[in-house]
A and B are shown apart, each in its own frame.
Chain A
Amino acid sequence: MRGPNDIIVFDNVSAVYKDGVGIFDISFNLKEGEFVFLMGPTGSGKSTILRSVYMDVSTNKGRILYNGRNLSNLKKRQIPKLRREIGMIFQDYKLLEDRTVYDNVALPLQISGFKSSMIREKVFQMLEKVGIEKKYKSLPSKLSGGERQRVSIARALVKSPNLILADEPTGNLDPVVADEIIDLLEELSNSIGTAILMSTHNFPLIRPRKKRFIELDQGKQIINDI
């Protein structure tokens, strides 16, 4: 089932909430540096798939392999370490509103205990890559939606993870900015070699990109192909 370059493998995974909704018998894999879309309407289980990777929901059946490790065997105290290895981007950005752009991007490095000089270097490098270096002193409330999402992307990539989970990162953005954000993610994925698993309900946005996508409906996998 698992190939040599697989970052993520979902093997018949089910995760069901108390109200009976969730994901059922999901199987797919994600290779190193690959960009895959999770497609489906609201409530189809896209976020549940992402959340089960960073262990925010527990699975009832099947196994998820991350870099060959079975996440079902992971102990609760090991979850923070797993999350430090993965970059995450959210629809609502999840930025700390009382901190500057610089502080927000530096946060994962500070949590991991990097030295201040190293943090400064990495943060400015990443802010430059996402094109927001001039606003490093701004608070998130002073930024547009697109700029906020760029900050969120910089924060996810600042530790050069080999996997990014992006949960509807374009959901709150207008079509032009949404396109720019996906372009940016593609570009970064190609240049850094990070695998990206991105959920979206906006098929027209991803159709022209010729990427693999996994289509979901009511928690079940419908398509896993181009």
Chain B
Amino acid sequence: MISKIKFIFVESFRGFYYAWTPALLSCITTGISLFVISVSFYSYILFINYSDSFTNNYELDVFFEDSLNVESAREVYREILLHPTIISGEFIDKEKSSEKFRDYFNSDIETLLGENPLPYSAQFYINETSRTPDSLLVVSSVLSNIKGVSSIQYDKEVLIRIHSILNKAMTAFSIIGVAIVVIAIILVSNTTRLMIHSKRDSIQIFSLLGATNLFIRIPFLIEGILQGLIGSFISIISLLILRNTLEYIFIPLVVINDYNFQLIIILNFSLGAMFGLIGSKRAISKYLS
């Protein structure tokens, strides 16, 4: 049994030595595929971060009824803070409103009107799961029913537009991502098939000498995984060069943090091994009855 296992492992590495051209081609194909996937994946992460910067600004402006004094207004403010969709808020009293008016219009409302008619108000920030136009509509409708709330305002049209653009972009990213992975698997699988095709005579001889399909298949699967891992290594080296070049040229515009890069390394090794396994499994099946 031990000599059989040893033989299978030696067989797995033999391909690199005796059929190094197709093996190298297979590694490079895997490397290029993984490089494209990694760049796409990183673009996706960047896009997610960029879209978060939009959705982080989802906020509701709540205006309290004129009849409320400052204590009652603060009480309603605290009641709204307890709502599960609200993560934080800021109470705006008449003085703050006046300051905001001054910043915005560059004039003093009390000088203009002789008094400050601005109501007490508050700004509330919404949790991540509720940052959609539909959820905001529901939340604003619930909050407007609270006693003491006069009106609720938010940039409804802008949010709907942003959300629609983000949704379309995410769908496009998903389709492109799936397409790239499928194309990569087909590409790697066909290159592996080329390599295995060059060994079809050996497969036939093994079979005629009484080797079981499993005995023939395992070395090819191990070889496929090894080629996938070498392909991952090629991809990671290329990505490192790309990352350093981009950071050198575009810093501080482009900063790829280490956490994301570690994720990309793990992604490369996992996908590389998977591509190699699937590719060689598909290819060897053609030659084993």
Q: How far is the CB of B179 from chain A (nearest CB, A)?
A: 38
Q: Are A112 and B210 in contact (CB under 8 A)?
A: yes
Is the beta-carbon distance between A111 and B205 smaller than 8 angstroms? no
Q: Report the stretch among B1-9, B223-231, B237-245 that lies at the interface.
A: B1-9
Mask, B180-219, CB within 8 Å of A = 1, is 0000000000000000000001101111111111010000
How far is it, in angstroms, between the C-alpha of A119 and the C-alpha of B7 when the chains are bound?
12
* Bound Cα distance A115, B3 (Å): 6
Number of residues on chain A facing chain B (CB within 8 A): 26
Q: Is B259 interfacial (CB 8 A cutoff)?
A: no
User: A96-B202, A98-B18 known; A80 and B210 CB under 8 Å?
Assistant: yes
Name the one of A84, A85, A94, A116 contacting B3, with C-beta atoms under 8 angstroms.
A116
The majority secondary structure among interface residues of chain A is helix
Q: Is residue A88 contacting chain B, with contact meaning CB distance below 8 A?
A: yes
- Chain B residue nearest to A104 (CB atoms) is B205
Q: What is the distance, in angstroms, from B248's C-beta to the closest C-beta of chain A?
A: 46
Q: State A155–B283 Cα separation when bound (angstroms).
A: 29
Is A83's CB under 8 angstroms from B1's CB? no
| B3 pairs with A113, CB closer than 8 A | yes
Cβ contacts under 8 Å, A115 to chain B: 3
A129 to B206, CA, bound (A): 24
> Is A80 a contact of B202 with CB atoms below 8 Å?
no
How far, in whole Å, are A108 and B18 apart by their CA atoms in the complex?
21
Chain A neighbourhood of B3, CB < 8 A = 110, 113-116, 119
- Neighbouring B residues of A113 by C-beta, 8 Å: 1, 3-4
Contacts of B202 in A (CB 8 A): 96, 98
A116 to B3, CA, bound (A): 7
Contacts of B207 in A (CB 8 A): 80, 83
Question: What would 12 more interface pairs be, CB under 8 Å, given A98-B14, A110-B4?
Answer: A84-B209, A84-B210, A88-B208, A94-B201, A94-B205, A94-B208, A96-B201, A110-B7, A111-B210, A111-B211, A113-B4, A115-B3
12 A-B Cβ contacts within 8 A?
A84-B209, A85-B210, A88-B209, A94-B201, A95-B205, A96-B201, A96-B205, A98-B14, A98-B18, A111-B215, A116-B3, A155-B209
Residues of chain A touching chain B, judged by Cβ–Cβ distance below 8 Å, are 54, 56, 77, 80-85, 88, 94-98, 107-108, 110-116, 119, 155
